[in-house]
Amino acid sequence: MTNQSVIRYGQLLDFVKPAVKRRSKSRRERRKESRPSELLAAALELFVERGFAATRLDDVVPAIANAETLVSEFPGGAGELLRLVVSGMWSSVGGNLLSGIPKLIIAESGNFPDLARFYYQEVIQRGLALMAGILKRGIQQGEFRTFDVDPTARAMMGPLLLMMLWRHSFQKHESDPLSAERYLDSYLTLVLEGLRVPTPGKAAA
């Protein structure tokens, strides 16, 4: 990090530690070994809620790595692989407080450029490469139609990013929030219908 980033990070920690300590006082009776994870969870919740950018990025990177391994070893078709990767990534990251990380990075990228750069290189670029790999596989297998892979991969990542941002901004104001399951099902149906080579019957319709 730059000197300026280090100073800001130190100021952030000075602000966060008292809040985390207050939240942890009621749990003193718990085993000592459990406290570090509780502190991290409390800090992450505080960061997501208040918009600070220091967070547990090292919890996100393994989810990307697991998906990369799945892509390299999966024996089935690209459509089924895409469903597994999207569902798995959401279960690991999107369905918990880690889904607030994109909101933090976007909001604080100007204040913490090194953090934003790390997130871009280790999460965004790898996620796009992962998606592009699935698309190329589908084209090579004849399951997907031929198209420009790179912009398509970005277009596919956009709705997933929006879903995470929405969860930590507008969802709390909805009277009847849309479930992640319904959103992902509609997303995957729409995407796969657009990617797949049309059957002769559909092509003639």
What is the predicted pLDDT for the residue at 48? 52
Mean pLDDT of 63-75: 79
CA distance 80 to 162: 23
Tell me the per-residue pLDDT of 120-170, one tens digit each, with 9 for 90 and over. 888 899 889 999 999 999 999 999 999 999 999 999 999 999 999 998 889
CATH T-level assignment (fold) for domain 3-27+34-204: Tetracycline Repressor; domain 2 (1.10.357)
Tell me the per-residue pLDDT of 81-115, one tens digit each, with 9 for 90 and over. 999 889 888 887 777 777 888 887 888 788 878 77
Supply the pTM of this predicted model: 0.69
Pick the more confident residue, 41 or 92.
Answer: 92
Q: Are 111 and 8 in contact (CB under 8 A)?
A: yes
Residues forming a β-bridge with 196: 144
CA distance 27 to 34: 10
What is the predicted pLDDT for the residue at 202? 59
What is the predicted pLDDT for the residue at 19? 42
CA neighbor of 159 nearest in space, from 90, 101, 113, 107: 90
